[in-house]
Structure 1
Amino acid sequence: MRGQRFLYFSLLILGSLLTTFIWYTFNNNWHRPLKKDPEIKSSDSCTDCREEKHIIELCSASRTQENQKVNNQQLHQKTKKNAPGSSDSCKDCRTWLRLKCNGFENAIITQKNTPLGSKVIYDGEKKKTIKVTAEQFSFFFQGHPFSNKTRQTCAVVGNGGILANSSCGKMIDSAEFVIRCNLPPLSNGYEKHVGMKTDLVTANPSIFTKKYGSLLGRRRMFVESLCQYGNSMLLLPAFSFSLNTALCLRVLYTIEDFGSPIQPVFLNPKYLESLAVFWRSQGLKETRLSTGMMMTSLALDLCDDVHLYGFWPFSVHPHSFQDLTNHYYDDAQGNKVFHSMSDEFKLLLQLHNQGVLKLHLGECGANE
């Protein structure tokens, strides 16, 4: 009897355990939540959906706008970097120079660009001005000094020692328009190397003071020195510094008194100021542009093809490595306070490499 009870009791426990196991297994398999397909909401009940989509669109639009902004900034920087008026690229310097400075119309004072009674500001002394009188106005060029036409070729002749024994005279004289700087000697054996043709020649007032006694005494020697330039224009900086005005007027009176064929004209200080601003924007920072740089700028306005001779500011020849004098005719040193010749040459070399102008730095042989 006792044995039967123990058997029943054991079966009861075993059955309970089996029931519990079966229930647990079926409960996990049959009653586990099924993965539902995404519910397609109607347009009436898709507020959350629309809001989520709107946020995504806003973010996407924001990223698009930001990307566009970045692209525009990059494009702007690229354009700015390669703009003709930037220091990184000056391939279109000629165009920008004409737009901003217009030497063709403004380089020389005329009765048109500087009317009677107008106020002229000295470009070397910004606080000093002079009112154009009737007498001064009568000396200003009438009409257009450059015959209102563009030349095919220009030669700008500097006075560097590199021109000595260069045999560049014929090439220089073959240019349609020849510009020379600071009344250089052309005869007495220099003709072969620097030529004789002259259409415009500049004059530094210091030459009149040091060499000709400010034209306060005998003046014939000065007038005779001008014969080598024929009937070219003599460009005088009468309004660069106030001390120059009276001196340059004496030059003009002397030329008239002796009947010299050379034509005195006045350099426009407005043009010089615009040149200084323009080249400063190209990275050329110096107190004052050299005469050579001024005349190169003018030539880029006047001529299609610009050739530079005698522009080498160093004391050793670039090819033969021989020692050079400062000028082809003497070894007098220039003004290093106002001018930075090496910086100017670096810029000119950049323009040469970009095809804006042509620098001649050796002997002018048949292959040039």
Structure 2
Amino acid sequence: MRKKLSIMINLLCLGSLLTTLIWYTLEDSFVELHRPIPQRSAPKPSELCKGCKEVIDKVKKLYNQTWKKHEENYHRFSLQLSINCNGSNNGIVTQENTPVGSKIVCDKDRSVISVTPELFKIFIKENPFSKKRWDTCSIVGSGGILTDSGCGKMIDSADFVIRCNLPPVENEFHNDVGMKTNLVTANPSIFMNKYGSLMGRRRAFADSLHQYGNSLLLFPCFSYGGTRPVCQRAVYAIEDMDISIQPIFLNPRYLERLVKFWESLGLKEHRPSTGLYMTSLALEVCETVHLYGFWPFSNHPDRLFPLTNHYYDNVPYDRKVHAMPNEFSHWVELHNKGVLKLHLGDCKSDQV
């Protein structure tokens, strides 16, 4: 009897010890997750990406710190985009420009999609950008340069705010990136990789959209024929769960023209980034275009401390697909010509 009692006491003590150990482990993890971010300092030479300091110094010399819009340069470039690409009228697939029975030719794999009555129903009736102009537009890239930038108020002060690839804007992010959203893009790869191609439960996907309010949700669904089904499932999930966001689709004919336009300016890449598409469209429909979060290097331009690739994660972009530094050089050039305003570094709290 005493032997059994002794064993029971030992087991109780061991259980208590394990419980205490688990509690402290979890508590330490919780504290670590919520610990304030330490002040960032200049990196050691070994922390700099190869050749970054030289490139960044060169960019800073080219980048005009005192920016002023050049009306003639802006209108000339905007007119070139309108003549060659006409995104304000043809950038979006609509029921007007893509009737039942017509064919959609995908701009990348050249697949041909027949427009059925079912597919036609999910097209917006008319282009939301036709005959519309905004005074100021913010195009928000998702670069790590936005972390601790305090740019949220400046971004949200624009009349029209465009965000790329369903980025988080709530909670700890809103001070740096703002929350106002008029248009947000979503690559089909997000549906596939993050939400299991929307083949199962779709609540997590639907819940992620509430932070964007009643904005436009732009899909590039007709670049590859294989992405159409997952895009349709995304639209059905939005409709079934009565989410206020409005799905729209990029027109592959517009994308083809846009690629040719930028190639004529010396920008050749396998697949232009979402930021390039959205900035090009904005330059047609916005009087003044501001770019935030466009910085393709892994160190900050001012103090050279390391940056994550995105402000919300450190997943790298595919260098075989996107030529981000090449695109960035064009933004610097257009900034210096007064065509658009490229914001680098932190934003002052009183600048709204």
Task: Name segments (4+ residues, structure 1) moved above 6 Å.
Answer: none
Instruction: Give the match for residue 198 of structure 1.
Output: 181
1:247 to 230, 252, 255: 230
SS at match of 1:190: helix
CA RMSD of aligned residues (A): 1.4
> Shift of residue 91 of structure 1?
7.8
> With structure 1 as the length reference, what TM-score do the two structures score?
0.74
Aligned CA distance change for structure 1 residues 94 and 158 (closer, same or farther; 3 Å)? same
Partners of 1:238 and 1:249 within 8 A in 2: no
Instruction: Give the match for residue 299 of structure 1.
Output: 282
Which of the pair has the greater relative contact order for Cα pairs under 8 Å at 6+ separation?
2
> Shift of residue 332 of structure 1?
0.3
Instruction: Give the match for residue 92 of structure 2.
Output: 108
Instruction: Give the match for residue 117 of structure 1.
Output: 101
1:285 to 261, 268, 273: 268
SS at match of 1:165: coil
Instruction: Give the match for residue 56 of structure 1.
Output: none
SS at match of 2:172: coil
Partners of 1:91 and 1:354 within 8 A in 2: no
Aligned CA distance change for structure 1 residues 260 and 90 (closer, same or farther; 3 Å)? closer
Write the distance in 2 (CA, Å) between the matches of 1:367 and 1:315. 26
**Amino acid in the other structure paired with 1:254:** A
> Shift of residue 90 of structure 1?
8.8
**Amino acid in the other structure paired with 2:165:** N
Q: Which moved more, 1:313-322 or 1:144-153?
A: 144-153
> Shift of residue 321 of structure 1?
1.1
1:260 to 243, 250, 259: 243
Q: Which runs of 5+ in 1 are unaligned?
A: 1-88
Instruction: Give the match for residue 63 of structure 1.
Output: none
2:303 to 317, 320, 325: 320
Write the distance in 1 (CA, Å) between the matches of 2:253 and 2:189. 22
> With structure 2 as the length reference, what TM-score do the two structures score?
0.77
Partners of 2:74 and 2:338 within 8 A in 1: no
Q: Which runs of 5+ in 2 are unaligned?
A: 1-72
Aligned CA distance change for structure 1 residues 91 and 231 (closer, same or farther; 3 Å)? closer
Give a deviation string over 1:176-217, Cα, whole Å, max 9, x none.
Answer: 000000000001210000000001000011111111111111
Instruction: Give the match for residue 233 of structure 1.
Output: 216
> Shift of residue 312 of structure 1?
0.2
Partners of 2:78 and 2:283 within 8 A in 1: yes
**Amino acid in the other structure paired with 2:107:** D
Write the distance in 2 (CA, Å) between the matches of 1:167 and 1:147. 33
Write the distance in 2 (CA, Å) between the matches of 1:333 and 1:172. 24
Write the distance in 1 (CA, Å) between the matches of 2:295 and 2:267. 17
How many residues are paired up? 279
